[in-house]
């Protein structure tokens, strides 16, 4: 194949693989703008809404468990096509849903698609691209993944602008209908990208490494020739032959192979890095970004605009990270990024603590509103806010207020969504929505999944707490946005780029596909857990506590980067693997 044709094919390979990253970004990011509208129209509480967000991450947890095995069985190309089809099916499931479990089912399927993409695309790129293009290929995958966030923000910003126009001359019923249509159309607009990825998957060649391991030597050579000159393709095929003969002649026991230092240490290190990556809160801050900015003091359009700029920061700084990673090295960028994340998270936490510390306890007044049938309904508008504050001798000073109610039926407690007195929303409605069984209690984010369900079905409504808090000023909202932009900048230039390289570079060849699945499984379990508890936690304890917790966890990330991560810049995969085996006696010196 001529040089122009191989260059064209390599660009196509990067483009189609990048579309996989784009879908991954849409999977995670699209809910950030749709969530406020879903919250306003669905009637779901914070526990259920958190699980709608976390369902994508749970789907990833499920799929990454068998992603490596599936890729080894079916091949990288077939699994890529499968992931695209799963995404395309998930969109109508979500957009046409009219109940909780139908919505969750679509989000789970979307997450399973994303989980497979997260394993198979980096694996496919590592096995198909020439060594000189490995960093660029992974960088483009991450860059288009981030563009998925930008695209999601653009879509939701469009609907936010439409809502601002509708709100000027429409009734509450019309505003409600617009919000319901907005979150559904948000998902519909992501479908064309899934269709493009599906079509692109059919024109790519299978991984030459996978074909060779399946005994298809001629097919492997043909696949290599699509992306390399004939001389380079023949050379790599001979290297595959030599590596295969060496492995066959070694005759080592599996137990001896897999428990050696060159496998265990990099595997553990990759797992720690992947887990710490989620403990920064990245996969909660991205989907909840618009909601966070609303609570910080911005109005609907400002929050969606702020979320769009958040995505732009991510997009631009990811490109900067891609350009720096082969110059400055993985270790330097990860240390710089995690250190900056700690400072920005502390800044966000301090800003929220400053406003949340001034909340007003109106629990007694709300308790008096409980009806004889043990339910509560309250339209929280400016007049209602004034009455609640007056009941404890306070005034609102003419400012908009927000209200959160923490309640329980027997062992099962929950919190309402935060509502603002300056927005048209559904009334706060507390009814006896007890989980049907313990599985639903666990998945819906119940505080007591193993409590007494029978007793809760007849227990009286208990108002645990109710707090009215002045909505912060728009200036405070933009300050919070600035700290989140700093968070995103440091994450994008450091962990955002380095994490995928750490996953593919540190993991030894012998265990790469299954090792990547295990590391990503831990990554997604952590991400799912944080996303599932985010809304109930901030409703009960405030946003400040969550951001301070993220900062504390990131300290572990920073220490790992500084003291334990080896520098892999400029080294082949074989050199990285051999370096761990040579350091049997050097211990932590491997970080040098």
Q: Measure the CA–CA gap between 79 and 76, rounded to whole angstroms.
A: 5
390 and 347 inside one domain:
no
pLDDT over 60 at 255, yes or no: no
420 and 274 inside one domain:
no
393 and 519 inside one domain:
no
DSSP codes joined into one string, 128-146: HS-GGGHHHHHHHHHHHHH
188 and 72 inside one domain:
yes
Which of these ranges, 12-16, 265-269, 504-508, 562-566, has the smallest mean pLDDT? 504-508
- Mean pLDDT computed over 465-489: 90
User: Model confidence at 579, in pLDDT bands (50, 70, 90)?
Assistant: low
Collapsing DSSP states into helix, strand and coil, what is residue 288?
A: coil
Identify the residue with better confidence: 301 or 592: 301
379 and 509 inside one domain:
no
141 and 173 inside one domain:
yes
How many domains in the chain? 2
User: Model confidence at 581, in pLDDT bands (50, 70, 90)?
Assistant: low
- Mean pLDDT computed over 425-430: 76
- Mean pLDDT computed over 380-407: 84
Its domain, for residue 508, covers 3-204+256-352+476-591
pLDDT given for residue 438 in this prediction? 61
Report if residue 237 sits inside a domain: no
Report if residue 579 sits inside a domain: yes
User: Model confidence at 13, in pLDDT bands (50, 70, 90)?
Assistant: confident
DSSP codes joined into one string, 413-464: EEEPPPEETTS--PPEEE-----SSHHHHHHTT-S-TTS-HHHHTTSPEEEE
Report if residue 209 sits inside a domain: no
**DSSP tally for the chain: helices H, then strands E:** 26, 7
Report if residue 212 sits inside a domain: no
User: Model confidence at 133, in pLDDT bands (50, 70, 90)?
Assistant: low
396 and 488 inside one domain:
no
pLDDT given for residue 447 in this prediction? 53
Our CA dihedral for 221, 223, 229, 235, rounded to 10 degrees, sits at: -40
User: Model confidence at 257, in pLDDT bands (50, 70, 90)?
Assistant: low
What's the chain's Rg over C-alpha atoms?
A: 26
Which of these ranges, 246-255, 327-336, 395-404, 446-455, has the smallest mean pLDDT? 246-255
137 and 285 inside one domain:
yes
273 and 141 inside one domain:
yes
- Mean pLDDT computed over 125-141: 72
pLDDT given for residue 584 in this prediction? 46
What separation, in Å, do the N-terminal and C-terminal C-alpha atoms of the chain show?
A: 43
Q: How far from 30 is each of 5, 110, 286, 463, 495, CA to CA, in Å?
A: 36, 11, 9, 34, 21
Indicate yes or no: pTM above 0.75. Answer: no
Q: Which of 214-228, 320-334, 484-498, 566-580 has the highest mean pLDDT?
A: 484-498
Report if residue 85 sits inside a domain: yes
170 and 37 inside one domain:
yes
Please give the structure tokens belonging to residue 85: 């089809």
Average pLDDT, the chain: 80
pLDDT given for residue 3 in this prediction? 65
Q: How far from 65 is each of 147, 310, 430, 464, 583, CA to CA, in Å?
A: 26, 31, 38, 40, 31
Q: Which of 33-37, 289-293, 358-362, 363-367 has the highest mean pLDDT?
A: 363-367
Model pLDDT for residues 145-193, shown as the tens digit of each residue: 888 878 887 887 888 888 878 877 778 788 888 888 888 988 898 899 8
Report if residue 157 sits inside a domain: yes
Q: Measure the CA–CA gap between 104 and 101, rounded to whole angstroms.
A: 5
Q: Which of 14-18, 335-339, 406-410, 585-589 has the highest mean pLDDT?
A: 335-339
Model pLDDT for residues 522-559, shown as the tens digit of each residue: 877 787 778 777 777 787 788 899 999 999 999 998 99
pLDDT given for residue 347 in this prediction? 95
| Contacts (Cβ under 8 Å, ≥6 apart) of 320 | 492, 493
Identify the residue with better confidence: 5 or 362: 362
Give the whole-number percent of the chain exceeding pLDDT 90: 12
Report if residue 232 sits inside a domain: no
Report if residue 143 sits inside a domain: yes
Identify the residue with better confidence: 306 or 65: 306
Distance of alpha carbon 24 from the chain centroid? 9
pLDDT given for residue 254 in this prediction? 46
Q: Measure the CA–CA gap between 374 and 369, rounded to whole angstroms.
A: 10
pLDDT over 60 at 25, yes or no: yes
Is residue 537 within 8 A of residue 545, CB to CB? The reply is: yes
86 and 121 inside one domain:
yes
pLDDT given for residue 480 in this prediction? 94
Is residue 216 within 8 A of residue 78, CB to CB? The reply is: no
pLDDT over 60 at 96, yes or no: yes
Pairing state of beta strands 401-409 and 419-420? antiparallel
Sign for the pseudo-dihedral over CA of 322, 328, 330, 331: negative
Model pLDDT for residues 321-355, shown as the tens digit of each residue: 877 877 777 788 888 999 999 999 999 999 999 88
302 and 324 inside one domain:
yes
Model pLDDT for residues 450-472, shown as the tens digit of each residue: 667 778 778 898 888 888 888 88
pLDDT given for residue 57 in this prediction? 73
Model pLDDT for residues 183-214, shown as the tens digit of each residue: 898 889 889 988 999 998 898 888 888 888 88
**Residue 509 sits in a domain of what CATH number?**
1.20.1250.20
pLDDT over 70 at 247, yes or no: no
Is residue 414 within 8 A of residue 51, CB to CB? The reply is: no
């Amino acid at each position: 194949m001529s040089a122009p044709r191989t260059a064209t094919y390599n660009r196509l390979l990067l483009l189609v693989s990048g579309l996989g990253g784009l879908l991954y970004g849409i999977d995670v990011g699209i809910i950030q703008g749709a969530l406020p509208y879903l919250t306003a129209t669905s009637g779901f509480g914070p526990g259920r809404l958190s699980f709608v967000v976390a369902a994508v991450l749970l789907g990833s947890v499920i799929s990454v468990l068998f992603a490596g095995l599936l890729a080894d069985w079916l091949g990288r190309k077939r699994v890529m096509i499968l992931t695209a089809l799963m995404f395309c099916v998930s969109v109508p499931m979500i957009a046409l849903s009219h109940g909780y479990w139908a919505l969750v089912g679509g989000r789970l399927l979307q997450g399973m698609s994303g989980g497979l993409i997260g394993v198979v695309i980096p694996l496919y790129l590592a096995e198909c691209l020439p060594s000189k293009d490995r960093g660029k290929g992974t960088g483009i995958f991450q860059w288009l993944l981030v563009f998925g966030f930008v695209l999601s923000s653009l879509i939701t910003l469009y609907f936010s602008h439409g809502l601002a126009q509708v709100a000027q001359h429409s009734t509450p019923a019309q505003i409600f209908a617009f919000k319901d249509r907005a979150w559904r159309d948000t998902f519909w607009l992501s479908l064309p990208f899934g269709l493009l990825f599906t079509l692109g998957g059919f024109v790519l060649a299978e991984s030459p490494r996978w074909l060779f391991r399946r005994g298809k030597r001629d097919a492997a050579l043909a696949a290599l020739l699509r992306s390399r000159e004939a001389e380079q393709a023949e050379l790599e095929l001979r290297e595959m032959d030599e590596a295969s003969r060496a492995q066959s002649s070694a005759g080592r026991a599996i137990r001896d192979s897999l428990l050696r230092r060159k496998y265990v240490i990099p595997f553990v290190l990759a797992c720690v890095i992947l887990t710490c990556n989620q403990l920064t809160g990245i996969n909660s801050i991205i989907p909840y970004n618009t909601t966070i900015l609303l609570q910080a003091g911005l109005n609907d359009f400002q929050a969606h605009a702020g979320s769009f700029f958040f995505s732009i920061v991510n997009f631009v700084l990811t490109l900067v990270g891609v350009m720096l990673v082969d110059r400055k090295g993985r270790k330097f960028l990860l240390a710089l990024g995690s250190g900056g994340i700690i400072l920005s998270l502390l800044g966000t936490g301090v800003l929220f603590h400053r406003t949340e510390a001034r909340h007003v306890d109106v629990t007694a007044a709300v308790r008096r509103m409980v009806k004889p049938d043990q339910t509560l309904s309250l339209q929280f508008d400016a007049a209602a806010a004034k009455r609640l504050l007056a009941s404890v001798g306070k005034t609102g000073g003419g400012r908009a207020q927000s209200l959160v109610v923490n309640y329980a039926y027997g062992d099962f407690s929950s919190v309402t969504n935060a509502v603002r007195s300056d927005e048209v929303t559904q009334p706060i409605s507390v009814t006896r929505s007890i989980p049907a069984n313990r599985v639903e209690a666990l998945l819906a984010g119940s505080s007591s999944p193993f409590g007494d369900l029978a007793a809760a079905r007849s227990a009286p409504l208990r108002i645990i707490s109710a707090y009215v808090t002045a909505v912060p000023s728009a200036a405070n909202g933009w300050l919070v946005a600035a700290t989140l932009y700093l968070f995103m900048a440091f994450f994008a230039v450091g962990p955002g780029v380095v994490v995928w390289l750490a996953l593919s570079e540190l993991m030894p060849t012998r265990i790469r596909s299954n090792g990547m699945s295990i590391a990503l499984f831990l990554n997604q379990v952590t991400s799912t857990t944080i996303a599932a508890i985010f809304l109930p936690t901030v409703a009960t304890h405030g946003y400040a506590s969550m951001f301070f917790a993220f900062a504390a966890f990131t300290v572990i990330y920073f220490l790992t980067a500084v003291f334990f991560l080896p520098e892999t810049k400029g080294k082949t995969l074989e050199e990285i693997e051999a370096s761990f085996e040579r350091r049997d006696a050097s211990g932590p010196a491997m970080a040098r």
